[in-house]
Chains A and B, each alone.
Chain A
Amino acid sequence: MTNFPILSAMTYLPLLGALLIFFLPRASPALPRTTALVAAAGSFVLSVVMLLGLDPNAPFQADQAVPWQEKVEWSSGLGVSYFMGVDGIAALLIVLTTLLTLIAMVWSWDTVKTRQREYYIAVLLLETGMLGVFMALDLFVFYIFWELMLIPMALLIGIWGSSNRVYAAVKFFLYTLFGSLLMLVGIVATYQAYYEQTGIRTLNVLELANGAYPVTFQFWVFAAFFVAFAVKVPLFPFHTWLPDAHVEAPTAASVILAAVMLKMGGYGLLRFNLPLYPDGTRAWAPWIIGLSVIAILYGAFVALVQPDMKKLIAYSSVSHMGFVTLGIFVLNLQGLDGAMMVMLAHGFNTGALFLLVGVIYERAHTRRIDAFGGLATKMPAYAAYFALFMFASIGLPGLSGFVGEFLVALATWQYNPLLAFFVFAVVIFAAWYMMWMFQRVVFGRAKGELPDPHDNALNDAERAELAAAGGSHGHGGHGHAEPAFGHAMPLPVSGGSHDHVPTTPTAATAEATGHNVGREETVPDLHGEHDPHASVWPDLTKKEALTLFPLAVLTIVTGIFPGPIFAIVEPAFERILALYR
């Protein structure tokens, strides 16, 4: 097992798939997606094998090939080597990557209809790039993968996105490139500094970590790396590419972007900034903590007033990811554990939320919150998933979101209780913006459906509507149109065995015969007028359920049993924290 280069196999399997698609004949339309699915599935299986076989306690070894570590010298003169390896932090994020990519492939199966070959090639290249980023232990290799993943993502947004896609793609590209270039400067500077110190040329991260860099040097180089990663996180005020990118990107790209690519920021900070520049970290930590707290609250506030579902979720990501940077820079074990947990939970929950937006986008071709309503009636399974991920996202204990955010807040309390207050206050606003969206999209009445006469918050227009419809709803007992009754028809559900008589003022005026006629006439009319699609929206398809189900299981299981995750990452965190004691 030790001789099988599992890391490289996992990383290049998608690349292989991309090449296959590229060279295979164009004749068969099913071939690209099948190939892509198989490659992504293979990568996922390899990553799970890797995770199961990982010994989280084994530290990296700078010079030799140990299990889950691969090293090939490229040019010893330059100090560049092909050096890949995983520890607990990387391993979990790698599995997250392969899983979410696989889910994205399944999602794309029948939703991507244009330029399929190119689409799958781009996604596969993206996966190779992302996996490489999480494994590379040589800065040269790291930088190549980092740039490699940028381009396919920009293409996915720019070609398969919605109306304003080019703007969003260019913005994403420039923002990230700006950060990357600064990072390149940082890489080169570190390389030189280490060479001047020791006379050894190397880009091996583990060796570079042994260098003793001057404080001022660390201050600036830290900043160069930090900007690259802060753009990716994204940390306030480097976040404005995110809403545009998310809104314009196709669903699968949004999922990968939110679930995986944002984590690269957090991962980069943990892998490079903290181990290489302890003095820089100490100097910058208070500022970054401040920005993180701002991001947490700011993201939540701005999410509160978004009319577009994807934008709302994008700003909620800014808020959630603020917990990651905060947890990292308070520099204690609970903070790091919490940051890791937030990264994973955000991967599951936000990934799933984007899928959920995708589900109704496929049906309604809009993401505007006010275009929806009453989905619970017609799409009960959809509503159930939506509710689950909403609660996971707003940090309901027992689901994944809570553990990480509570740990980060707890860690922040140890840093500064007042900050913990501001940070934890976000639980109120998170509930506010998510429930406000949930209520408008999932609760309420569907378009074309009559209001519930027992609704105590009816406005005049709705009362008039009810009266016009002939007051046919004695709404027996509590017979409220339930999911199962489906299809937006305001059927007067009779209250079972009890004989109920209309009691509302409007209803009372109608005669039994009159309201039947009235219903027949008005309802189809309302239907046609308000929303032609309303009656044909089906509940989740099997494929859609298949993409959501694993995330649902993961968000529940990791919420109840987060222990193994901590066991996997804590040795790596302990090694980082050892630098700061």
Chain B
Amino acid sequence: MERWLFLIPLLPLLAFAVNILLGRGVIRANAHWVAAPAVFGSFLLALLVLRQLYETGEPISQHLFTWIPAGDFVVDVNLYADQLTAIMLVVVSSVGFLVHVYSVGYMHGDGGYYRFFSYLPLFVFSMLMLVLADNFLLLFVFWEGVGLCSYLLIGFWFKRRSAADAAKKAFIVNRVGDLGFGLGIMWIFAVFGTISFQEVFSAAPEVAVGTLTGIALLLFLGACGKSAQFPLHVWLPDAMEGPTPVSALIHAATMVTAGIYLVARAQPIFELAPTALVVVTIVGAFTAFMAATIGMVQNDIKRVVAYSTLSQLGYMAFALGVGAWVGAIFHLLTHAFFKALLFLGSGSVIHGMHEEQDIRRMGGLRKYMPVTAGTFLIAALANAGVVPFAGFWSKDEIILSAWVSEHQPIGQIASVVGLVAAFFTGLYMFRLVFLVFFGPERFDNTQVHPHESPASMSLPLVLLAVPSLLIGFVGFPPEEGPIHSFLEPVFAHGEEADHSEEAPAEIASLVFLQEEPAGEEHEPTGEQDAEAGGTAVDEGSGEEEHHVSTATKLTFAIISSVVALAGIAVAAVNYRNVRTAEEVVAIDQRLTRGSYGLLFNKWWWDELYDRVFVRPFRGLSDWLWRVVDEGIIDAAVNGLAAGIGGVSQRLRHVQTGLVANYALAIALGMVVMVGIYLGFFSDLLR
């Protein structure tokens, strides 16, 4: 695979190029024949990469060309695939392919069909490159690249102001995160003199904890933007303005996990910066909780699923924070399948209901669309975390890892918050299921005739239902499953780093290194520490299970199952049989009591940001323009000019518009100037 690694991203890139250039004139409604096979090709190649890594365990890399050679700042375009990348490649290309197939039906007849099948492979390309990048800046390039695709696809139906607004909001909020990410890269370069992952990670133990903490926090700000973590979560719900397949692929399964991927990739840095990890944990747990509460009262089918995505991303983030690296990636993996399925199922519902998205005007749809209902139910069970569906294994592992992690008391707090959020998850997920597929029909069935979607849409649903049901078993038995042993080499990095005598010489000479000697408590310093240090570093993979007894695991499995089932039970009791749209709201209000307003309005974050950032910045801009620019600077200039008014008055007469006059003026002017010069400044004529 070493020589052919570049083909994985190249295939979708070519599909993009062909469709964007020829789509409107030549290919038109056949655009999917270009895009889907290309992504399928990437999927097959990704499987080969996965197999090779499974067999050899040796990362694969390939040098393509040097992008920026600016003095000692050299950025190469190198591809690098280790076990983590391999998993991401498979997730992106498989879900990507299924979404392409689904879109054939969903986007059928849309005027922008070719455009859609240009942007979609462009996204797949960018996302594949993002996970293949072997240095921070290259990752950043495609980080922005997926942001571009997100912008184009959220704003796909650009005639709608709401869609254009949402696209712009997504891009700008992400840019706030990118500011952090970009500064983090600059800091990394200033400290390490390189931005290559391998070189930075091997030198990281030599660097002061304070510096690493700063870098880690900046990187995490970037991750907050992309993975929609509080306080930069506000763009994701609005992003649902995009076509539903886009929501499934970009805003659920893949792009939004890029932030999680970034933190996991930079694990050697985060592992050495405990304060940063605490922040990651708090932000993740808070997001998981907040989003789950909001999800309970939303009425737009896609928004409910979107808040569920936010919440699940929160789980992944706090898993990273407590050192459950494998757990986070495991949840990323399972979530990609079941959340894509939830979105595609929602799309199928919307399609079958003629563009209706309000769950208050649905109900009883399971008899009209059995395939959608069945697969949606599987995904909902997986999302709620019910045994043995995929989401259970990964979520349970996260909650358990948080409880037993060495980052206490924050870990246990996060664990409890996670359990509370899990209850809400069961509740909102099955509120959705019951309101959409069960109970009486709350729509006018003389006007609306729900129908099952065509095969191109239902087949991907079935294909996604399989992993939603089964993929959890790659993590079975808990903490010792195939995924744990597979990913172990990636996250064991911290252990080896310390033995690197060959740490680049220039690193050692850097000034700040003297601030703090390497590794006081978080850094294994020698052979004798290796065991203890290794345990700390290898959370959830290597030796962690030694002090998590089977009893504890079982207890937690039972607790989280009970909690999820309790949520489902509450939903069943309340929403099983709702007759009118008003009744839905009444039940919501009864369940949430006084907090309904807060939750329905999404905790007022949008309004707060509007007051605190958007409007003041616009006001400042307006003031700068009218007062400073035109009122002060320009007024001063014009005043000066008016003072010499005669000059400008004369200049106006000079402008006769005849070039001959000007030529004469130029010539005269030169003569005068030379004359002045010779007369006053030169000795030549004296």
Binding site for B on A (CB under 8 A): 22, 77-78, 115, 117-118, 121-122, 144, 147-148, 151-152, 155, 158-159, 166, 169-171, 173-175, 184, 188, 191-192, 237, 239-241, 298, 301-302, 304-306, 332-334, 337-338, 374, 376-377, 380, 387, 391, 396-398, 402-403, 406-407, 409-410, 413-414, 417, 420-421, 424-425, 427-429, 431-432, 435-436, 439, 442-445, 449, 451-452, 454-458, 474-485, 493-498, 500-501, 503, 508, 560-563, 566-567, 570
Contact = CB atoms under 8 A, between A and B. Distances in A.
Contacts of B648: 170, 174
Contacts of B189: 410, 413
Interface in B21-71: 24, 65-71
A564 to B, nearest CB: 10
B511 interface: no
Contacts of B447: 501, 503, 508
A42 B120 CA distance: 43
Given A410-B189, A432-B172, A391 B148 contact: yes
State the majority secondary structure of interface residues on B.
helix
Nearest to A494: B109
B112 interface: yes
B106 to A, nearest CB: 8
Nearest to B632: A237
Contacts of A398: 141, 144-145
Contacts of B171: 431, 435
A305 B633 contact: no
Contacts of A455: 159-163
Contact of A115 (B158, B624, B630, B657): B657
B621 A301 contact: yes
Given A159-B657, A391-B148, A409-B186, A444 B111 contact: no
A425 B637 contact: no
Contacts of B670: 144
A439 B182 contact: no
Contacts of A442: 158
B619 to A, nearest CB: 9
B604 interface: no
Given A121-B659, A455-B162, A78 B637 contact: no
Contact of A475 (B73, B178, B355, B647): B355
B473 interface: no
14 contacts: A170-B652, A239-B633, A397-B145, A421-B183, A427-B178, A427-B179, A457-B162, A457-B165, A475-B355, A477-B109, A477-B110, A478-B243, A503-B447, A563-B69
Contact of A147 (B624, B659, B669): B669
Interface in B189-238: 189-190
Interface stretch (B261-269, B277-285, B325-333, B677-685): B677-685
Nearest to A493: B111
B186 A454 contact: no
Given A417-B187, A480-B157, A503-B355, A396 B621 contact: no
A301 B624 contact: yes
Contacts of A387: 152
A15 B622 CA distance: 44
Nearest to A300: B621
B508 to A, nearest CB: 19
Interface residues of B, number: 94
Contact of A337 (B71, B106, B159, B633): B71
A374 B163 CA distance: 13
A505 B190 CA distance: 59
Nearest to A414: B190
Interface string B601-645: 000000000000000011011101100111001100110010000
Most chain B beta-carbon contacts within 10 A, residue among A77, A376, A428, A481: A428
Contacts of A171: 637-638, 641
Contacts of A374: 158-159
Nearest to B140: A397
B546 to A, nearest CB: 43
B163 to A, nearest CB: 7
A170 B165 contact: no
A268 to B, nearest CB: 19
Contacts of B243: 478
B635 to A, nearest CB: 9
B104 to A, nearest CB: 11
A116 to B, nearest CB: 12
B397 interface: no
Contacts of A184: 673
B172 A431 contact: yes
Interface in B161-184: 161-165, 167-168, 171-172, 175-176, 178-179, 182-183
Given A77-B684, A301-B621, A398-B141, A428 B175 contact: yes
B651 interface: yes
B351 A175 contact: no
B345 to A, nearest CB: 17
Interface in B62-113: 65-73, 106-112
Contacts of B634: 240
Given A337-B70, A444-B159, A482 B110 contact: yes
A316 B113 CA distance: 34
Interface in B641-664: 641, 647-648, 651-652, 655, 657-660, 662
A333 B657 contact: no
B664 to A, nearest CB: 12
A158 B655 contact: yes
A241 B633 CA distance: 10
B354 interface: yes
Given A398-B145, A424-B186, A439-B164, 13 more contacts: A121-B659, A396-B145, A427-B179, A443-B155, A445-B159, A455-B161, A477-B108, A478-B106, A482-B115, A483-B111, A496-B109, A562-B68, A567-B69
B470 interface: no
Nearest to A564: B69
Given A118-B658, A457-B160, A481-B159, A497 B186 contact: no
Contacts of B652: 166, 170
Contact of A563 (B67, B110, B187, B625): B67
A159 B657 CA distance: 7
A17 to B, nearest CB: 13
Most chain B beta-carbon contacts within 10 A, residue among A117, A237, A481: A237
B587 interface: no
Nearest to A387: B152
B241 interface: yes
A305 B622 contact: yes
A458 B651 CA distance: 52
A122 B659 contact: yes
Nearest to A175: B637
B70 A566 contact: yes
Given A147-B669, A427-B179, A444 B657 contact: no
Contacts of A567: 69
A43 to B, nearest CB: 20
A170 B682 contact: no
Contacts of A410: 73, 186, 189
B666 A476 contact: no
B448 interface: yes
A151 B666 contact: yes
B148 A302 contact: no
Contacts of B351: 477, 498
B141 A397 contact: yes
